[in-house]
């Protein structure tokens, strides 16, 4: 189980002012469950993933993995403990090839496995294994590679940040199958999918709704769905200094 206790993350807004991008988050993710996190843009979903991965340090609060306090551990240590994160916007690497990144991710696995993983995410190994993982790969290709890298690591706590973004209509089903299938096949793994996609939301055991750096609701798809339909997120969106009143959300 991964648990966040009163986690607050502050960042500077560029004008020397600190703002809280996560505000006193209390959340626990149980082993074996699949979670979907959704909510309006800027609501704090990716920031939550980053604080779990160790990329952001909390100003307050603590994180526990299976009861162990991991608040002050590094990114590398968390990776080695089995936490994995597929970025929303993964960085490109000049001069590193697809196979280089996958071998780093797999660390000790063989080449055959890398080829299998590429096929799993819908990239033909023959065409991609020697391509450079730089700006020349397309957005969707890169997103698939990012997922293959996470699969290669095979972490027990895995976060996908909008895996559906940029993935074409024809292979969306396959992607959903890969993520949900991997989850089902590993009883001891916890899967968190940050998503704006209904299919992913419905595939999850539990949905967490985040807005304004806070967890606003959590529950089963059946419980949360009506609230989403209600455009609940709109009410939590900062209302432009009061100009946008709540009623407008329902028009």
Partner 1 sequence: MKLSAIDNTRQSRQLNPVDEQLLETIADLHGIPQGAYNIRKNGDLLSRMSSANIEIVSKQDKPGIDVIVKPGTKNESVHIPVLVTASGLHDLVYNTFDIGEGADVLIVAGCGIHNPGASVARHDGIHEFIVRKGAHIRYVEKHYGQGEGTGDRILNPRTIITLEEGASAEVELVQIRGIDSTNRVTEARVGASGRLIISERLLTHGAQHADSLITVELAGDNASAEVLARSVAQDRSKQVFRASLVGKARSRGHVACDSIIMDSAEISSLPELHALHAEAELTHEAAIGKIAGEQLIKLMTMGLTEKEAIDTILAGFLS
Name, in order, each residue with C-beta under 8 angstroms of 203's C-beta and a sequence gap of 6 or more: 34, 36, 176, 180, 193
Distance CA 229, CA 183 (A): 27
CB of 42 to ligand ATP, least distance (A): 4
Q: Which of 18, 20, 30, 46 is nearest to 210 (CA)?
A: 46
CB of 89 to Mg ion, least distance (A): 8
Q: Which two tokens stand for residue 236?
A: 């939590």
Q: How many residues bind Mg ion (CB under 5 A)?
A: 3
Q: Does 171 bind Mg ion (CB under 5 A)?
A: no
CB of 232 to Mg ion, least distance (A): 18
Q: In what order do the strands lie in the sheet with 2-12?
A: 18-29, 2-12, 60-65, 68-69
Q: Does 16 bind partner 1 (CB under 8 A)?
A: no
Measured from the CB atom, the residue of 150 and 175 that comes closer to partner 1 is 150
Distance in angstroms between the alpha carbons of the first and the last residue of the chain: 41
Q: Does 74 bind partner 1 (CB under 8 A)?
A: yes
Site track for partner 1 across 181-210, x = CB under 8 A? ------------------------------
User: Interaction with partner 1 in 143-172: which residues (CB under 8 A)?
Assistant: 149, 153
Span near ligand ATP by CB under 6 A; candidates 36-44, 111-119, 167-175, 221-229: 36-44
User: Interaction with partner 1 in 82-121: which residues (CB under 8 A)?
Assistant: 84-85, 87, 90-91, 93-96, 100, 104-105, 107
CA 204 to chain centre: 13
Q: Does 42 bind partner 1 (CB under 8 A)?
A: no
Site track for ligand ATP across 54-93, x = CB under 6 A? ----------------------------------x-----
Q: Does 57 bind partner 1 (CB under 8 A)?
A: no
* DSSP H/E element including 27: strand 18-29
CB of 44 to ligand ATP, least distance (A): 4
Whether 53 contacts 76, CB under 8 Å:
no
DSSP-assigned letter for residue 198: H
User: Interaction with Mg ion in 69-108: which residues (CB under 5 A)?
Assistant: 88
Per-position b or e across 116-128, b if 16+ CB within 10 A of its CB: ebbebbbbebeeb
Q: Which residues form the interface with ligand ATP (CB under 6 A)?
A: 11, 21, 41-47, 88
């Amino acid at each position: 189980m991964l648990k966040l206790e009163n986690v607050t993350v502050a960042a500077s807004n560029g004008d020397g002012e600190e703002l809280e991008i996560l505000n006193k988050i209390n959340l626990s993710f149980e082993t074996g469950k699949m979670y979907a996190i959704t909510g309006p843009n800027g609501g704090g979903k990716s920031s939550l993933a980053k604080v779990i991965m160790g990329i952001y340090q909390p100003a307050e609060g603590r994180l526990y993995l299976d009861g162990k306090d991991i608040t002050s551990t590094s990114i590398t240590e968390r990776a080695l403990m089995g936490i994995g994160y597929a970025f929303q916007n993964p960085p490109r690497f000049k001069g590193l090839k697809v196979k280089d990144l996958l071998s780093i991710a797999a660390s000790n696995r063989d080449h055959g496995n890398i080829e299998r993983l590429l096929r799993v995410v819908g990239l033909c190994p023959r065409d991609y294994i020697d391509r450079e993982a730089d700006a020349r790969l397309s957005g969707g290709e890169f997103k698939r590679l990012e997922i293959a890298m996470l699969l290669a690591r095979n972490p027990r706590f895995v976060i996908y940040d909008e895996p559906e973004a940029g993935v074409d209509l024809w292979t969306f089903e396959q992607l959903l199958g890969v993520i949900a299938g991997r989850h089902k096949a590993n009883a001891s793994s916890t899967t968190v999918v940050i998503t704006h996609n209904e299919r992913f939301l419905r595939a999850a055991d539990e949905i967490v709704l985040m807005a304004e750096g806070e967890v606003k609701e959590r529950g089963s798809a059946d419980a949360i769905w009506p609230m989403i339909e209600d455009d609940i997120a709109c009410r939590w969106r900062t209302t432009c200094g009061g100009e946008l009143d709540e009623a407008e959300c329902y028009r």
